Chains A and B, each alone.
Chain A
Amino acid sequence: MKRFEYARAGSPSDAVRRFRPGTMYLGGGTNLVDLMRLGVAEPDLLVDVSRLPLDVIEPVGDRLRVGAAVRNTDLAADPLVRTRYAMLARAVLDGASGQVRNMATVAGNLLQRTRCAYFQDVSRPCNKRRPGSGCPAIEGDHGNLAVLGASDACVATHPSDMAVALAALDAEVHVTGPGGDRIIPMPGLHRLPGDEPERDTVLEPGDLITAVELPAPPPGASTYRKVRERASFAFALVSIAASLDVGSDGVVSGCRIALGSVAHVPWRAERAERLLIGGPATGAAFLEAAEAELDQARPLPRNAYKLPLARNLIVATLEELAP
């Protein structure tokens, strides 16, 4: 680990004020300390924001405001989250371990970096870690990498479960930074790799996430499901956050679908949603929508399994949610 300076921020604005090139904000540390030990992250200055008073969950009208420093455990255990945003509670509980969830913050979870084996190994090339060095995953180990929205430069996936649910919930990410405060709607926080895979998100240098605000939950039933070879404590092969609202006439009046571990971003399946809304809530319609969504995929030899997996998952999940 490279030497660095450590400072504790007294307030969000103090954190932003301390920011200079080479600075990173430290939340729960569950990913950043991990990456620093690997040599992947080499900050000169760590500004600890984990103890800022951003750890409150509070209703704002029919919305719910979740502070950026709320620990994952507390998010999933919150009575309002459990009852109104079951999809989010389930996604959080499906991630990592009890210990990691106790440490990890909401903002840190959103800003997790890919678990691509090449990204995590500084002795191998990686365009995300060292722009221009190449992407060996495309010819090599891409078994759990992206099938949607990837580029020739990068096929990494975003590893978060929580972010998938937030994308489906149309959550808003509140940010403060050198350029002032702004609100970034999910799933727009994360970006596709394009030819700048080193940029995971649209955040600018110095930006600090202060909160995530959840709009009123979508009507209908919702859930989160994660597929993994180990029954717990494993990253997803594919995951899904979905909600479905079907009128008494059997017509879909609302539908949200987001997929995890298929892209550089939590993937909002907008094509499928558009096809489903206003149509019948039948297995055939679910299948057609799933296939339309996955038509855009560009799988590689060793991750092509994600297409039938995602298709099955969309269909099975919607069937489960249908009345």
Chain B
Amino acid sequence: MDITLKVNGTPHAVDVDPRMSLLDLLRERLGLIGAKKGCDHGQCGACTVLIDGRRANACLALAVAVDGSEVTTVEGLAKGDDLHPLQAAFIEHDAFQCGYCTPGQLCSAVAMLGEPGPSAVTDDLALDPELTPEEIRERMSGNLCRCGAYVNIVKAIAEAAP
């Protein structure tokens, strides 16, 4: 099927197998290897990208179903040579080891900082909570890191948060 989508600002028109996920489209057809395949079932977050500005598991999105969308991957976070503040903070705080979950962590964090509303650890649902370390941990729990860099990831996000 023919679809068009914009990835990191670049338009693409591609003919895809309806079975192909957005993740496989990015990795196997468009040469964008930043989004990672860790589980292919939405259980690890390594494939996290932004679809129309919202973080999503690219492995669970069929490419045909995101026809017309704007997708941002980790490759699209930096402005030229200038790293996104979160990317710089991840390096500074050693917020990764093997680096395989990192693109997903970064895309997730970028979107998370713009997500309104409470989380599962918010006491008063009526108020938009402060982004405490506890809130960051809960909101970032969809991105597994087997190297165990969580404490550094939380520090990096807390520092880079506006």
Pairing of A with B = yes
Residues of A at under 8 Å CB distance from B?
Answer: 1, 3-6, 26, 28-30, 33-34, 36-38, 46, 48, 50, 73, 76-77, 82-83, 86, 89-90, 93-94, 96-100, 102-103, 231-233
Q: List 26 A-B contacts (CB under 8 A).
A: A3-B19, A6-B64, A26-B65, A29-B60, A29-B61, A29-B62, A33-B61, A33-B62, A34-B41, A36-B19, A73-B117, A76-B117, A77-B116, A89-B118, A89-B125, A90-B120, A93-B118, A97-B42, A98-B112, A98-B140, A98-B142, A99-B108, A100-B42, A100-B60, A100-B142, A233-B144
Task: Among A48, A90, A231, A232, point to the contact of B125 (Cβ < 8 A).
Answer: A90
In the assembled complex, the Cα of A1 lies from the Cα of B40 at a distance in Å of 13
| Given A73-B115, A97-B45, A98-B115; A103-B60 close (CB under 8 Å) | yes
Q: Is B99 an interface residue (CB 8 A)?
A: no
Chain B 40-61 per-residue mask, 1 if CB under 8 angstroms from chain A, else 0: 1110010010000011110111
In the assembled complex, the Cα of A1 lies from the Cα of B140 at a distance in Å of 30
Q: How far is the CB of A69 from chain B (nearest CB, A)?
A: 13
Q: Are B125 and A83 in contact (CB under 8 A)?
A: yes
Chain B 124-144 per-residue mask, 1 if CB under 8 angstroms from chain A, else 0: 011000000000011111111
A-B Cβ contacts below 8 A, count: 105
Q: Is B18 an interface residue (CB 8 A)?
A: yes
**Most chain A CB within a 10 A radius of its CB, from B1, B54, B115:** B54
Q: Are A82 and B18 in contact (CB under 8 A)?
A: no
Q: How many residues of B contact A (CB 8 A)?
A: 39
In the assembled complex, the Cα of A4 lies from the Cα of B62 at a distance in Å of 12
Q: Report B-chain residues with C-beta under 8 Å of the C-beta of A93.
A: 118-120, 122
Q: Report B-chain residues with C-beta under 8 Å of the C-beta of A86.
A: 125
Q: Report A-chain residues with C-beta under 8 Å of the C-beta of B42.
A: 30, 34, 96-97, 99-100
Q: How far is the CB of B154 from chain A (nearest CB, A)?
A: 13
Q: Report B-chain residues with C-beta under 8 Å of the C-beta of A46.
A: 18, 62
In the assembled complex, the Cα of A102 lies from the Cα of B60 at a distance in Å of 12
In the assembled complex, the Cα of A77 lies from the Cα of B118 at a distance in Å of 7
Q: Report B-chain residues with C-beta under 8 Å of the C-beta of A5.
A: 18
Q: Report A-chain residues with C-beta under 8 Å of the C-beta of B142.
A: 96-100, 233
Q: Are B120 and A102 in contact (CB under 8 A)?
A: no
Chain A residue nearest to B16 (CB atoms) is A6
Q: Report A-chain residues with C-beta under 8 Å of the C-beta of B55.
A: 98-99, 102
Q: How far is the CB of A217 from chain B (nearest CB, A)?
A: 13
